[in-house]
């Protein structure tokens, strides 16, 4: 997740500015302004979450490419055979869905895999304006994504 810190830095700068405005609106008893600022904060959270998840997707793709290339280099066909049909240099590794790419580098039967799948759903909801919850807590979500990144196994 090469640009994770850079994205979080940009997010924090914008979020702090919105938060200062929100505090001012509350202190001045301006509920309509407060509501508008909270909507902007939520929109900002969604936008940065999509960017953060994009970094996670890049990390998944890179781990997949490493996994495929190392298995395809094996001289033992028994080790190589399932991996030979994959195309690591093609876009999306030859058309694999995100879920399948994740399954190459995380055990599909684990809670980690299910957690990635849930965040992928949130990413799609946020990107299409269909988020069902109230807010995203970006600090926690970013920490979760970094933990999951550390669990990817090439």
Partner 1 sequence: MRPQYRDVLEEVTAEDLPREHVVRRIDDWAERIGKLYDRISGWLPGDIKVDRSDTISMSSNIMTATGVTSRSLPVFRGRRGQAVALTIEPEGLWIVGANGRLKAYGAGGFAHIVDRAKNFQQPKWEIAFSPDRHTGHPLTKDTILRLI
Residue 23 or 73: which CB sits closer to partner 1?
23
Across the chain, which distance is largest between two alpha carbons, in Å? Answer: 72
Taking CB under 8 A as the criterion, the residue among 16, 80, 81, 108 binding partner 1 is 16
The C-alpha atoms of residue 146 and residue 112 are separated, in whole angstroms, by 12
To partner 1, the closest distance from the beta carbon of 26 in angstroms equals 5
Taking CB under 8 A as the criterion, the residue among 15, 57, 62, 100 binding partner 1 is 15
- Within residues 100-139, the interface with partner 1 by CB under 8 A covers 115, 117-119, 121-122, 125, 131-139
Q: Is 140 exposed, middle or buried (0-12, 13-18, 19+ CB in 10 A)?
A: exposed
Measured CA distances, 148 to 34, 71, 109, 113 (Å): 35, 23, 15, 9
The residues binding partner 1 (CB under 8 A) are 12, 15-17, 19-20, 22-23, 26-27, 38, 115, 117-119, 121-122, 125, 131-141, 144
């Amino acid at each position: 997740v090469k640009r994770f810190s850079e994205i979080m830095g940009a997010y924090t700068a914008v979020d702090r500015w919105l938060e200062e405005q929100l505090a001012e609106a509350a202190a001045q008893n301006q509920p309509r302004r407060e509501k508008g600022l909270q909507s902007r904060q939520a929109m900002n959270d969604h936008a940065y979450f999509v960017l953060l998840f994009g970094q996670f997707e890049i990390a998944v793709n890179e781990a997949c490419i490493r996994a495929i290339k190392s298995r395809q280099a094996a001289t033992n066909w028994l080790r190589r055979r399932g991996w030979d049909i994959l195309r690591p240099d093609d876009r999306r590794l030859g058309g694999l869905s995100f879920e399948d790419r994740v399954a190459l580098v995380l055990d599909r039967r684990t809670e980690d895999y299910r957690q990635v799948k849930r965040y992928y759903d949130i990413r799609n909801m946020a990107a299409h304006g269909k988020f069902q919850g109230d807010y995203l807590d970006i600090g926690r979500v970013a920490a979760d994504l970094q933990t999951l990144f550390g669990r990817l196994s090439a």
